[in-house]
Structure 1
Amino acid sequence: MSADAAPSTTEAQVWEHQKLISTGLACLEAAVHSNKLPPRQEAKARLRYASILYEETENLQEAETTLFQGIKLCEKHRYTDLRYCLQFMSLKVLFQRNQKAAFIALDKQIAECQTFKHIPWVYAFRLLKATLQTYAGNSVEIALLDNLQSLSTLAHERGDHAVGVLGSLLEGLAHLRVTKQDTVERVQTCLAQVAKYQLDPFVQVLQLDVLTLLLDLACSMHQKNPDLLVHKLSALQSRMDAGLDSKEWADGVAEMRIPLKKQHSSYHLISDDTGAILQAGSLDEGRDFVVMSFLTRAELFALVYTFSGLASLYRFHHNPAKVQRKSSELWEEGLKVIQQLASVSEAGAVTATVSRHESIRQAKWRTEMFCYLQLLTGLYCATQSRWSVVDQCLVKLQKAATQTPNDIFSLCCLYLTGVYHQGTGDLETALLLFQDSRFDIDSTLSAGGGRKPALLELCLLAALNRLWILQAPDFRDDTTTLALLEKVRPICTEHHDPEIRTAFHLVQATTRTNQPVSMQVIKTSIHSAVQTSKQIGNTHCLAIGLSIMRYQLFDNVVGEQALKSAKAASAQSKRSGNLLWMSVADGMLAHSYEVQEQMAEAQAAQKAASEYAARALIGKN
């Protein structure tokens, strides 16, 4: 029933869901206050009552009061397992009301568990703290890393290496959230810690393996190394395929169980009543389990399709002959998975134990994945001049983005809209969009670490788009151009991402103002752009770089070198598949042939350039 109450359902279904919740809460409230339940049953009832209040209502005060009374009851009767469960829930409730107080209380709770050597609960509370720190944002980045390192250190000291590996993986993910110059090195250090225990049978958990491979692939994508990406992507896909028959990770299972050594005294710490947090293993197994929420197998497949599409961009540029599926095809598969998940949810096929709060979270995740895949598809098709597809992506995005408050998606949608108008020749609209206050670089920088790196990168890209539009005769503005160049130059030239640096060098090499750039600066910019594009396998930027080289260095030049430059730009543009740049490159090739007095070749090249231009404007490939 809860899945039916997700955002896509009708008002009648929501009303029915709320009615059932109200009835259930009334029954639980009556039972809790009846004074007729045995102490343990009353504690369990209070936990359930508070959990529903937390997940289904906004009555946090009532939930806190109920949990406090339950904790006192457990202390009186020495129900250690239930007391920890109640305290675990009370910290989640407190976090909703006062984040600072919740972290102070968490530290006290962790210290208490360490004092009494209740190690499984130390793990549980440290993982809860990490989760809450993630929700708190980048302001607690250092505290988050310290917490995860403490978790890993304790786990490895006690031989619970799977928990330690989980801590290292979460630390690696935390490093990726706030990109710095040494991000790749930090993530690789975490992966090296994980690799130490890859042969330990206790550590061989399917979800941990997949998470490791995903983190490794993400790290390689930061490095922009095509050879590494091919290897990492193949390993990830093989592991996913090998896990299709796993009983531990069946369809619909949205959790992972991390094994830890069974303590002799754990019988009063872990029970059937702690199963949502800690699960007791059999005596024969010799281990218990920490339980964590995780993606379902279908959700992870959608994520893997997304990563595979991104990685395939570099594989295609590096060696097109070895690429079996294009990025757009992989993203289409990811969209199919997301749509299937949405259909299953709408049909009410999700387990009834899922709360409305969780149903909404899952629906939001699906919406964000849908938006992200549409954005990637739109940006990819923009590089192919497939403007009709870009337009379709924008329509879908504008409809779906209203369901998620994520500011990055709204900014990405705005940027893609600007790209669409710029690519289809509506420069006035494109310029207005790229001048939007949300693309203001100063406000992004002044926000410091509180804003995600993607926001700054989008602002930089919008500024670079503006600079090229401002070169058009109807929009020429030297004052704005110079000011914008000075603003983005120090950020772009020192940026960790080589593609951002490359894009800036391409723009700098072509920007003209009333203060002319020296030919040495132009040559240096072109050289940097071309060399970096080759290193990272970006055929699109390489095609642009070679076209700019032909225009800036060999325009109206007679000689074999000038013709070779034009031919290289033409060949590379065709390899990139961008119709606009294919038109530009062949137009310059035609001019080079004319200069060489090779008129037949010039006419053929000019005809091809005109055809590419016509196809680019109507968006047909």
Structure 2
Amino acid sequence: MLPHDNMLPADTLPNVPLHATLLQLADEYVAAAYGGNIGDELYHSQLSTAMGCLESVLKNFRLDPRREARVRLRLATLMVNETENQVEAEEILSKGIMLCDRCKLLNLKYGMYHLLARLMATSNPRAAMKRVDQLIGETETASNVVWAYSFRFLRISLGLQYGGRTDGASLMNQLAIVLQMAMKFRHVAVQIMASTLQAIVHLRSGARDGVDMAQRALAAARTFQTHPEMNNLPQLRILIECLSLMCAMSQFNKEQAMQSTVMMQQELESLKEGYFSISLGTAAAGDIDLDSGGILSSINGCTFLKFAWLPVAQLQAMGYLLSGISAMHRDAADTKTVHFLNQGLRLTEYHCGPANQVTNLLRLQLTLAYCTQNDWDQAAKELSQTKADGDDFTKALRLLLQATIKQATGSLKPALELYNAPPLKFSVGEEDGGVRDVQTLGTLNRVLILQRLGLHEEAVGCLSEVEQRCLQHRNRLYFSAFHVAKAYLQPSSAILPRKHILKSAVEAAQTTNNQQLLCVIMNVISQSFFHGIIGDQAMKSVQVSSVLGKRARNRMWMAVADEMYAKTLEMSGRPDKAATLRRDANEQMAAVPATLQSLLENQTF
């Protein structure tokens, strides 16, 4: 067979080692897979081919130690990020670590240990954190500041991701040491990062002073707000504003929440990257990126530690989520809430798909927004599009919303079945967290249904389960809601105890300026103490109830309040105004679900 005209003779082929060609091909396939919008099948095919090239190099060629270690780290990184071959990835890393030990390749060794710890954490977080603690000791003994920082931040990250609230003290200790090191060496970016992480730990703690401590940590980070390091870290500025917004909402500071929301939105508009790097203030070798597996990088001769946050689209969607929550915090019936959340949904569904976790969070929050606006049909429709799986918090919140919609539309027994489901069952002694808050709300709602169905003893038992949590919760709304439920369980003859309980409820609700809860409490007070009574105090009570009902824009409570107001006016000899109010009450009640209307007939508190 004759060679084709355009084929080169064997002796004229370029003298390029085959292993170098395979490594170059691997780089090109990875770049193509990560470089643009391609289909899933092609994406996985290109990455699979890249890993095949790297495996072939390791199996068929004898490389110098540094190159072999780099290939092992590259291959293991792809396996960890793109496959479920955990055992094979661990084997590749273990052999690589032994090679690095023999040849004293410190950066490559620690880069492999960093990846191995992250891999171990997916199956055994405690073992991974213990291993990182050992590496921290090793690097600090060797005065290797760069890797000491790297492993301490990894330990903090694993603690935040996999640890519980009881790990807060350990995390704060880690951060305190990082801050001491950073102040000693004047590493400003590290100080900003550590202070910001301190704020996160304080907010997660659930402690009564957690918000105050978080604000102090944020104030420490903001002392560098005019420093060049802060100017180079838009991602951290966004995170600081997000945390500031959470603090403001926790303290019901609407003005501060608005300011933080605006600042966060402005920063997000110009954001170009989700990942960021902080300067460690030390000189770096030019190949530190390759030797560390991308954990460290060299910029203008200095060592930087890389942090991966979220892709820009997801960060912007999270911004819309927080903006929506902030708008609902200012005014539960504000239409801006739905606008922000829908904007976030459009963004995540376009960039991330409908099954993305952020998409699911946005839909759950949108369901909650429709619930606060009493649009139960739309709430049910939105909830039906959420995923039933997810973490414990997501499952519990989804079930709570499902039960709330049933309860609000008058389907009490189906709602009770949902509240009794395991994800919403409150168990005394379990660890605190967002799940516990959802379970607490579910239990309070269950108490109201049980009492309505005549199951008084069971209702009392349920309320006692959440008493300590509600009374000690840093959010005063739990305190107030607990006292509303407690008042509901009092016999009608217990006028003074009920009055004392409701006084506590209204005082707590006033500190939060929650119009909806104040509306409920004042309607209960009017019904309990001024029903059928004429006088200035009775008139003031029903007037306040009517005003609060309109502020809360809750059709049912507007109808109830206006009906009580109308009756009081009739008894006071003012039938004309009473007729107008009754007409308004009937119009509002007509918009309430029929099943709920029937439950409200002859209802007394």
**Equivalences for residues 17-28 of structure 1 within 5 A:** 20-28=46-54
Equivalent position of 1:353 in the other structure: none
Deviations 1:534-561 (A, max 9, x none): 3222111111122112111211111232
The answer to which of 181-190 and 75-84 deviates more is 75-84
Deviations 1:66-90 (A, max 9, x none): 2233233334444333232222223
Equivalent position of 1:455 in the other structure: 435
Equivalent position of 2:190 in the other structure: 163
Deviations 1:401-427 (A, max 9, x none): 34xx31221211111111111111112
1:524 deviation in Å? Answer: 2.4
The answer to which of 14-23 and 46-55 deviates more is 14-23
Equivalent position of 2:450 in the other structure: 470
Equivalent position of 1:350 in the other structure: none
Query: How far apart in 2 are the matches of 1:486 and 1:90?
Result: 46
Deviations 1:329-363 (A, max 9, x none): 221222122122225xxxxxxxxxxxxxxxxxxx8
Distance 1:579 1:232, change over 3 A: same
SS at match of 2:299: coil
**Equivalences for residues 173-192 of structure 1 within 5 A:** 173-192=200-219
- Contact 2:569-2:577 at 8 Å conserved across structures: yes
Distance 1:480 1:77, change over 3 A: closer
> Is 1:57 matched up with 2:83?
yes
Residue identity in the other structure for 2:553: G
Q: Which has the higher contact order (CA 8 A, sep 6+)?
A: 1
1:273 deviation in Å? Answer: 4.1
SS at match of 1:401: coil
Equivalent position of 1:381 in the other structure: 370
Question: Of residues 262, 267, 289 in structure 1, which corresponds to 2:282?
Answer: 262
**Equivalences for residues 62-101 of structure 1 within 5 A:** 62-101=88-127
SS at match of 1:470: helix
Equivalent position of 1:484 in the other structure: 462
Question: Of residues 419, 428, 431 in structure 1, which corresponds to 2:416?
Answer: 431
- Contact 1:567-1:589 at 8 Å conserved across structures: yes
- Contact 1:260-1:288 at 8 Å conserved across structures: yes
Equivalent position of 2:484 in the other structure: 506
Query: How far apart in 2 are the matches of 1:66 and 1:588?
Result: 75
> Is 1:446 matched up with 2:474?
no
Equivalent position of 1:532 in the other structure: 508
Query: How far apart in 2 are the matches of 1:61 and 1:482?
Result: 52
Distance 1:567 1:99, change over 3 A: closer
- Contact 1:79-1:268 at 8 Å conserved across structures: no
Equivalent position of 1:407 in the other structure: 392
Equivalent position of 2:350 in the other structure: 340
TM-score (norm. length: structure 1): 0.84
1:15 deviation in Å? Answer: 6.2
**Equivalences for residues 108-127 of structure 1 within 5 A:** 108-127=134-153
- Contact 1:371-1:401 at 8 Å conserved across structures: no
Query: How far apart in 2 are the matches of 1:394 and 1:272?
Result: 46
- Contact 1:378-1:393 at 8 Å conserved across structures: yes
Percent identity between the two aligned chains: 27
Equivalent position of 1:136 in the other structure: 162
Distance 1:5 1:506, change over 3 A: farther
Query: How far apart in 2 are the matches of 1:536 and 1:589?
Result: 26
Rg bigger for which structure? 2
Query: How far apart in 1 are the matches of 2:289 and 2:441?
Result: 54
- Contact 1:257-1:292 at 8 Å conserved across structures: yes
TM-score (norm. length: structure 2): 0.86
- Contact 1:309-1:330 at 8 Å conserved across structures: yes
1:16 deviation in Å? Answer: 5.8
SS at match of 2:304: strand
- Contact 2:281-2:303 at 8 Å conserved across structures: yes
Equivalent position of 1:582 in the other structure: 558
Residue identity in the other structure for 2:348: I
Query: How far apart in 1 are the matches of 2:43 and 2:267?
Result: 40
Distance 1:91 1:432, change over 3 A: closer
The total of aligned residue pairs comes to 563
Query: How far apart in 1 are the matches of 2:266 and 2:400?
Result: 35
Deviations 1:118-138 (A, max 9, x none): 212211111122222233221
1:512 deviation in Å? Answer: 4.0
- Contact 2:447-2:460 at 8 Å conserved across structures: no
> Is 1:224 matched up with 2:252?
yes
Distance 1:414 1:22, change over 3 A: same
SS at match of 1:280: strand
